[in-house]
Amino acid sequence: MAPNTDIGLIGLAVMGKNLVLNMVDHGFSVSVYNRSPAKTEEFLKDHGESGALQGFTTIQEFVQSLKRPRKIMIMIKAGAPVDEMIASLLPFLEEGDILIDGGNSYYLDSERRYVDLKKEGILFVGIGVSGGEEGARKGPSIMPGGNIDAWPAIAPIFQSIAAQVDGRPCCSWIGTGGAGHFVKAVHNGIEYGDIQLICETYEILKTRLNLSLEQIGNIFFEWNQTDLNSYLIGAAAAVLIAKDENGNAIASTILDVAGQKGTGRWVAEDAIKAGVPMSLIIESVLARYLSTWKEVRTKAAQEFPGIPLLCQPPQEASAFIEDVREALYAAKIISYAQGFMLLKQVSQDKGWDLNLGELALIWRGGCIIQSAFLDKIHQGFENSPEAHSLILQDYFKKVLFDSETGFRRAVLHAIGSGVAIPCLSSALSFYDGYRTVDSSLFLVQGLRDYFGAHGYERRDCPRGEFYHTDWLETKKTFRV
């Protein structure tokens, strides 16, 4: 068979199938392969084999069907299966061919594959794809990184199938090595924080105002017409309002045990390694772990019924609802600020030179964290590219200043009512810590020097000079 298709895709699970159909809709011919031939046959039966869509049962025939340079996208489970698939493809590839991993791979695995395949003359690209099943079919947010020599050949495909906002594709080149997959992981970490903040907001409104699922859903719907407009707020409203065929709230049947696939944990670990205080994302991951202890929590609720409320119920519901909205928006700003701090730090460490404003544009459509808010982030980085974080950019500075009182009132009500708000309280603590000139952490360093002779810097000496005190005997201090 003469090579005649534009791109090949391996892995016909939901994401893979929908990406194939998206590509075909945009005029590209696609070869497909799945480890299970039955899945390939079923897919072709449902969507028809033609010049634009061809299926194969062997890897060799699949590879031979592709135009050169061959472009192969792998959409399978991350980890060892990706390495095994790459190994099975290599005997049939030639120098200049392109391998694209579109799964949720860990970015350090992508870094390794980029280096290893470069030695073989193969161009590796790790692509983050966000938007889930619907995004893959109708237009996802796409974050490609790896060997930039591959970009001219694959850009027309991926920029065509990506979501479009204001005439711009939500897809542009991210950087070398594992940059694409790292940016996608941070996107997922921010998503974790967004979701947890929405959940905590729901809990405050339910507990303090005794509102129903539908009432809170309607509040979220109203908020979605404000600066909080986002895919997730809209989705939360839809979930809370939805009723089954008997008119009962579907959300009331969902067990409060939250799952996760691991990308949030990866980002939390990467933040700690990079020395970035990404407290909201870390707390959101821990909240999901705690949710899995359902039986333990049920027993603890019986053992610790709580104390009487420490604050009076809000006198005016509408004013309190506005306080909670301000708290959610302020915490969201802080969460995104932390995410972009991590992106900036790792970009510097890896030499990626990430364009942070461009990332905000890529996320405006097709992905789970898409929101109007991202335009503000893009503008912030355009206007203040050297600012340490979003918090110090003019628009976000003003929002935090204007919403601080409502933010604090909402958190006080939650704490006084015994409502767990790990992310909202963490956001407020980060905000207060970020603007503290003289913190109590001098005592940490004093204690470290006391029991471990680790030394400390002095307020009256240049940074980088360290001193040690003989705390137990002479109390004398000397430079080390």
Following DSSP, what letter does each residue of 249-266 receive, concatenated? BGGGGS-S-----SHHHH
Is 288 annotated among the ligand-binding residues?
A: yes
Euclidean distance between CA atoms 430 and 416, whole angstroms:
20
Rounded to the nearest 10 degrees, the angle between the axes of helix 279-291 and helix 317-350 is 110
Q: Is residue 308 predicted with pLDDT exceeding 70? A: no
Is 104 annotated among the ligand-binding residues?
A: yes
> How confident is the model over 59-109, as pLDDT tens digits?
999 999 999 999 999 999 999 999 999 999 999 999 999 999 999 999 999
Residue numbers annotated as active site: 184, 191
For position 388, what pLDDT does the model report?
84
Q: How many CB atoms lie within 10 A of CB 288?
A: 17
More confident: 260 or 233: 233
For position 311, what pLDDT does the model report?
67
Give the residues across from 185 on adjacent strands: none
Euclidean distance between CA atoms 59 and 2, whole angstroms:
15
Is 130 annotated among the ligand-binding residues?
A: yes
| Distances from the Cα of 286 to the Cα of 69, 197, 233, angstroms | 45, 13, 22
Euclidean distance between CA atoms 283 and 287, whole angstroms:
6
Euclidean distance between CA atoms 444 and 456, whole angstroms:
10
Burial 40-61 (b: 16+ CB within 10 A, else e): beebbeebeeeebbbbbeebee
Closest alpha carbon to 331 in 388, 399, 378, 420: 399
Closest alpha carbon to 349 in 227, 178, 172, 230: 178
Is 229 annotated among the ligand-binding residues?
A: no
Instruction: Give me 16's structure tokens.
Output: 């893979």
Q: Is residue 146 predicted with pLDDT exceeding 80? A: yes
Give the residues across from 230 on adjacent strands: 371
Q: Do the Cβ atoms of 79 and 109 come closer than 8 Å?
A: yes
Is 45 annotated among the ligand-binding residues?
A: no
Question: Which residue is listed with tokens 């929590």?
Answer: 297
Closest alpha carbon to 370 in 234, 263, 476: 234
Three-state secondary structure call for residue 369: coil
- Domains annotated for the chain, with CATH where assigned, are 7-177 (3.40.50.720), 184-434 (1.10.1040.10), 442-479 (1.20.5)
Burial of 308 (0-12, 13-18, 19+ CB in 10 A): exposed
Q: How confident is the model at residue 316 (pLDDT cuts 50, 70, 90)?
A: confident
Least confident of 243-247, 280-284, 313-317, 359-363: 313-317
Three-state secondary structure call for residue 98: strand
> How confident is the model over 149-192, as pLDDT tens digits?
999 999 999 999 999 999 999 999 999 999 999 999 999 999 99
Q: Do the Cβ atoms of 407 and 330 come closer than 8 Å?
A: yes
Closest alpha carbon to 355 in 343, 366, 365: 343
More confident: 171 or 50: 171
Is 16 annotated among the ligand-binding residues?
A: yes
Widest Cα–Cα separation across the chain = 87
Is 208 annotated among the ligand-binding residues?
A: no
Is 413 annotated among the ligand-binding residues?
A: no
What secondary structure letter does DSSP report for 312? P
Q: Cis peptide before 462, with omega less than 30 degrees from 0?
A: no
Euclidean distance between CA atoms 430 and 436, whole angstroms:
10
Instruction: Give me 469's structure tokens.
Output: 């005190």
Rounded to the nearest 10 degrees, the angle between the axes of helix 394-416 and helix 373-383 is 130
More confident: 384 or 453: 453
Is 467 annotated among the ligand-binding residues?
A: no
The four Cα atoms 446, 448, 451, 457 give a dihedral, to 10 degrees, of -50
Q: Is residue 312 predicted with pLDDT exceeding 70? A: no
Query: What mean pLDDT, rounded, does the chain reach?
Result: 94
Q: What is the rounded average pLDDT of the residues 257-280?
A: 92
Q: What is the rounded average pLDDT of the residues 432-461?
A: 96
> How confident is the model over 29-40, as pLDDT tens digits?
999 999 999 999
In what helix (H) or strand (E) does residue 141 lie, and over which residues does it extend? strand 141-146
Is 448 annotated among the ligand-binding residues?
A: yes
Is 410 annotated among the ligand-binding residues?
A: no
Is 13 annotated among the ligand-binding residues?
A: yes
Residues of the chain above pLDDT 90, percent: 91
Give the residues across from 172 on adjacent strands: none
Is 355 annotated among the ligand-binding residues?
A: no
